[in-house]
């Protein structure tokens, strides 16, 4: 998960590094560190905590030099401590590295190095890399020769930046974890994704697996795993150039929720214009396939559940599977259209499942939000949902646009829906925020919460429960109304909040609601046709799922606000899940 950023320029890079790594903080915020090369020395500052607090304590801008790198961490191996924070030095203090990913065989490598007399200061797998390179250089290998050995010896995933105190260069190595080189005026920028430098340039070169690069102030050279030079294509990418500002909002989460009407409209317009060819291709590929198989994780998985529902109603054979369990339950062949759905485009479980599908000769059409991400580049074709950058860890507007796109696809297969007014209807939910605030005040201290749904509203029940868990720290369960009697009803007692999502006149959901009410539950009825606690103004045409999700997002936000929680940066989580 972690974010890495490196820079070589004809200026002091500490401010550039600080700004770049700040833009990557959504990838992890357990600790932060910076290393800057200056005339044969490497100076490091690092500490456990969020970037702003550590910078206030250490002042990264005091570091001087025109070559450096920075890291923001999401902990995998070792707790969030100063010693476990990156960058990591070799024992002789001549080599410094930052790393995103997980070395699966780090214990074997570590034990081998310990036997040779190397001491380890941290609990991380990453520190192994620094000592590994020191050991290789002691055996008279060049750094490039050592990198070839590392690619051969290392098992797992890695994006590594490496500096040596006697060279004003950055070496970059990549396997599965994302890595990109940005080309700006008199600057070379290395980062986990393009957003780190999209305010500075729209030109980038994307690393492929088991490639490495040598970057200096005079230029760059790419190599394959055997050390042979490679010619790489410079890509022009389109992404938000300006830093996402919080403007008048207290948190990014509420800002991004309030952007949903705008981004939904932007997507729909693009499907009729600049993305029309790709949209038509998606429709054609669905028609030619024997079945559609979605791959996704987390919030994107819930969007894919909606997509499978929409297509199923149109008679299209469709299924969705959670990426981490995909290979255990999927049947894939050349007549299968696989549709990975991902906000970041770098979700490791999705990448692994996608490799399996490609090996089975399946066609791949991805739905992404980040241009030139790994999953987009693995696909035969793709569509960008154009939700824009999300800073808050919780996915909000990206879910809405994923669902809007899937509903628009279903329309091509005779699903009857009016999408011309979707932006206005989302805005109608946002305009009722005061009602949702009052509901949040009533339930924010409850330890448990249940959300019931059927059919169209079941994926939404799952998504609302996920939001409440990750942002509000309340145990929440989203479930099928029909499964209530098979165990969960035993947990319903006086005062337990239960949200019932009743799409249209779903009388089975009405019965489920009565069942929990008779056991003392405090029910919150959300419906578009029946009377209840929150009325969603929409036709009987499939948009209820999208609009009910916006309701759930606002409810989550106001619950967390009442509890005074760190809404944009919930504990233990990161935005981009680049490890398995």
Q: Where are the domains of the chain?
A: 3-236, 249-415, 426-580
**Token output for 145:** 């020769």
pLDDT band at 543 (very low <50, low <70, confident <90, very high): very high
Buried b (16+ CB within 10 A) or exposed e, 460-474: bbbbbbbbbbbbbeb
* pLDDT tens profile 9-33: 989 999 999 999 988 887 887 899 9
Report CA-CA distances (Å) from 184 to 107, 171, 408, 474.
Answer: 39, 18, 38, 45
Between these two residues, 571 and 460, which has the higher pLDDT value?
Answer: 460
pLDDT averaged over every residue in the chain: 92
Q: What CATH number does domain 426-580 carry, 3.40.50.10490, 3.40.140.10, 3.30.200.20, 3.10.20.30?
A: 3.40.50.10490
- Predicted confidence (pLDDT) at residue 180 exceeds the cutoff of 70: yes
pLDDT score at 186: 86
**Strand blocks (E) in 284-389:** 291-296, 318-322, 336-342, 363-368, 381-384
Q: Which residues contact 2 (CB under 8 A, 6 or more apart)?
A: 27, 28, 71, 72, 73, 74, 86, 99, 100, 101, 192, 574, 578
- Predicted confidence (pLDDT) at residue 239 exceeds the cutoff of 70: no
* pLDDT tens profile 46-71: 999 999 999 999 999 999 999 999 99
Let me know if the fold of 249-415 is the same as that of 426-580. Answer: yes
Provide the β-strand partners of residue 432: none
- Predicted confidence (pLDDT) at residue 280 exceeds the cutoff of 70: yes
pLDDT score at 182: 95
Provide the β-strand partners of residue 36: 43, 68
Q: What is the dihedral of CA 197, 200, 201, 202, to 10 degrees?
A: 70
pLDDT score at 25: 85
* pLDDT tens profile 300-312: 999 999 999 999 9
Rounded to whole angstroms, how far apart are CA atoms 405 and 403?
5
- State the sign of the Cα–Cα–Cα–Cα dihedral 569, 193, 34, 110: positive
Q: What is the dihedral of CA 547, 552, 553, 555, to 10 degrees?
A: 130
Phi, psi of 519 (to 5 degrees): -100, 10
Instruction: State the maximum Cα–Cα separation within the chain, in Å, rounded to a whole number.
Output: 78
- Predicted confidence (pLDDT) at residue 129 exceeds the cutoff of 60: yes
DSSP of 17-57:
HHHHHHHTGGG--SEEEEEEEETTEEEEEEEES-HHHHHHH
**Token output for 299:** 């919030």
Report CA-CA distances (Å) from 260 to 230, 257, 325, 342.
Answer: 42, 6, 31, 18
Residue 571 DSSP class:
T
* pLDDT tens profile 363-413: 999 999 987 888 998 999 999 999 988 889 899 999 999 999 999 999 999
- Predicted confidence (pLDDT) at residue 571 exceeds the cutoff of 90: no
* Location of structure tokens 């994107």: 300
* pLDDT tens profile 427-458: 999 999 999 999 999 999 999 999 999 999 99
pLDDT score at 185: 86
Please say whether the beta carbons of 322 and 296 come within 8 A: yes
**Token output for 308:** 């499978």
Q: Hey, how many other C-beta atoms are within 10 angstroms of the C-beta on 80? A: 17
575 is catalytic: yes
Please say whether the beta carbons of 459 and 399 come within 8 A: no
pLDDT score at 484: 81
Rounded to whole angstroms, how far apart are CA atoms 285 and 336?
10
Catalytic residue (choose from 110, 437, 575, 580): 575
The arrangement of secondary structure in 3-236, i.e. its CATH architecture, is 4-Layer Sandwich (3.60)
* pLDDT tens profile 342-356: 988 888 899 999 999
Catalytic residue (choose from 2, 67, 357, 392): 2
Tell me the Cα Rg of the chain: 25
Please say whether the beta carbons of 364 and 322 come within 8 A: no
Rounded to whole angstroms, how far apart are CA atoms 73 and 31?
5
Question: Percentage of residues in the chain with pLDDT exceeding 90?
Answer: 76
State the helix-helix crossing angle for 544-562 and 422-430, rounded to 10 degrees. Answer: 30
Please say whether the beta carbons of 56 and 111 come within 8 A: no
DSSP of 443-491:
HTT-SEEEEEE-GGGHHHHHHHHHHHHHHH--EEEEEEGGGTTTTGGGG
The SS3 call for residue 77 is: coil
pLDDT score at 193: 86
What pTM was computed for the model? Answer: 0.80
Residue 251 DSSP class:
S
Rounded to whole angstroms, how far apart are CA atoms 114 and 110?
6
Between these two residues, 185 and 147, which has the higher pLDDT value?
Answer: 147
Rounded to whole angstroms, how far apart are CA atoms 312 and 234?
41
- Predicted confidence (pLDDT) at residue 279 exceeds the cutoff of 60: yes
The arrangement of secondary structure in 249-415, i.e. its CATH architecture, is 3-Layer(aba) Sandwich (3.40)
Reference 393, options 142, 118, 26; nearest CA is: 26
pLDDT score at 59: 95
- Is the previous residue joined to 87 through a cis bond, with omega within 30 degrees of 0? yes
Q: Which of 137-141, 229-233, 575-579 has the lowest mean pLDDT?
A: 575-579
pLDDT band at 577 (very low <50, low <70, confident <90, very high): low
Q: Which of 204-218, 242-256, 289-303, 454-468 has the lowest mean pLDDT?
A: 242-256
Please say whether the beta carbons of 98 and 71 come within 8 A: yes
pLDDT score at 244: 59
Q: Determine how β-strand 336-342 pairs with β-strand 291-296.
A: parallel
Phi, psi of 238 (to 5 degrees): -110, 125
Please say whether the beta carbons of 79 and 556 come within 8 A: no
Please say whether the beta carbons of 502 and 530 come within 8 A: yes
- Predicted confidence (pLDDT) at residue 580 exceeds the cutoff of 60: no
Q: Which residues contact 40 (CB under 8 A, 6 or more apart)?
A: 165, 166
Reference 343, options 374, 381, 320; nearest CA is: 374
């Amino acid at each position: 998960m972690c974010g890495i950023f490196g820079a070589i320029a004809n200026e002091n890079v500490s401010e550039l590094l600080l700004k770049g790594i700040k833009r990557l903080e959504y990838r992890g915020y357990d600790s932060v560190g910076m290393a800057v090369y200056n005339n044969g020395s490497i100076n490091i500052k690092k500490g456990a905590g969020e970037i702003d607090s550590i910078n206030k304590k250490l002042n990264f801008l005091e570091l001087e030099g025109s070559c450096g790198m920075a890291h923001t961490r999401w902990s995998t191996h070792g707790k969030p401590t100063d010693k476990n924070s990156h960058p990591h030095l070799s024992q002789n203090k001549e080599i410094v590295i930052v790393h995103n990913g997980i070395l699966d065989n780090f214990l074997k490598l570590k034990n081998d190095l310990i036997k040779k007399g190397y001491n380890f200061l941290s609990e991380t797998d990453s520190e192994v890399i620094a000592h590994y390179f020191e050991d290789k250089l002691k055996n008279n290998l060049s750094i490039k020769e050592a990198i070839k050995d590392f690619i051969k010896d290392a098992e797992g995933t890695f994006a590594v930046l490496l500096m040596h105190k006697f060279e004003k260069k950055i070496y970059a190595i990549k396997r599965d974890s994302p890595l990109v080189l940005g080309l700006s005026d008199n600057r070379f920028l290395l980062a986990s994704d393009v957003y780190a430098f999209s305010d500075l340039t729209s030109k980038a070169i994307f690393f492929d697996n088991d490639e490495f690069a040598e970057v200096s102030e005079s230029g760059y050279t790419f190599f394959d795993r055997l050390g042979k030079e490679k010619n790489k294509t410079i890509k022009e990418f389109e992404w938000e150039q300006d830093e996402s500002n919080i403007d008048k909002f207290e948190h990014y989460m509420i800002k991004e929720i309030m952007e949903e009407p705008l981004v939904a409209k932007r997507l729909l317009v693009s499907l009729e214009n600049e993305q029309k060819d790709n949209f038509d291709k998606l429709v054609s590929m669905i028609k030619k396939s024997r079945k559609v198989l979605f791959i996704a994780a987390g919030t994107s998985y819930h969007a894919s559940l909606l997509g499978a529902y929409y297509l199923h109603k149109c008679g299209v054979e469709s299924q969705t599977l959670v990426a981490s369990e995909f290979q255990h339950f999927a049947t894939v062949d050349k007549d299968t259209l696989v549709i990975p759905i991902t906000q970041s485009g770098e979700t490791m479980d999705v990448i692994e499942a996608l490799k399996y599908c490609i090996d089975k000769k399946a066609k791949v059409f991805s739905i992404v939000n980040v241009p030139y991400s790994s999953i987009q580049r693995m696909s035969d074709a793709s569509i960008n949902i154009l939700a824009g950058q999300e800073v808050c860890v919780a996915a909000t507007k990206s879910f809405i646009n994923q669902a809007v796109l899937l509903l628009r696809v279903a329309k091509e297969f005779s699903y009857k829906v009016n999408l011309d007014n979707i932006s206005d209807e989302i805005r109608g939910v946002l305009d009722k925020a005061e009602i949702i605030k009052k509901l949040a005040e009533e339930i924010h201290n409850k330890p448990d919460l249940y959300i019931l749904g059927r059919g169209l509203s079941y994926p939404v029940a799952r998504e609302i429960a996920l939001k409440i868990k990750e942002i509000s720290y309340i145990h929440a369960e989203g479930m099928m109304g029909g499964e209530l009697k098979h165990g969960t009803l035993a947990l319903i007692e006086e005062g337990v909040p239960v949200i019932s999502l009743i799409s249209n006149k779903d009388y089975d959901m009405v019965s489920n609601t009565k069942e929990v009410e008779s056991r003392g539950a405090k029910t919150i009825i959300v419906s578009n046709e029946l009377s209840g606690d929150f009325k969603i103004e929409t036709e009987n045409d499939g948009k209820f799922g999208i609009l009910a999700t916006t309701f759930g997002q606002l409810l989550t936000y106001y619950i967390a606000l009442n509890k005074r929680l760190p809404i944009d940066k919930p504990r233990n989580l990161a935005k981009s899940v680049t490890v398995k």
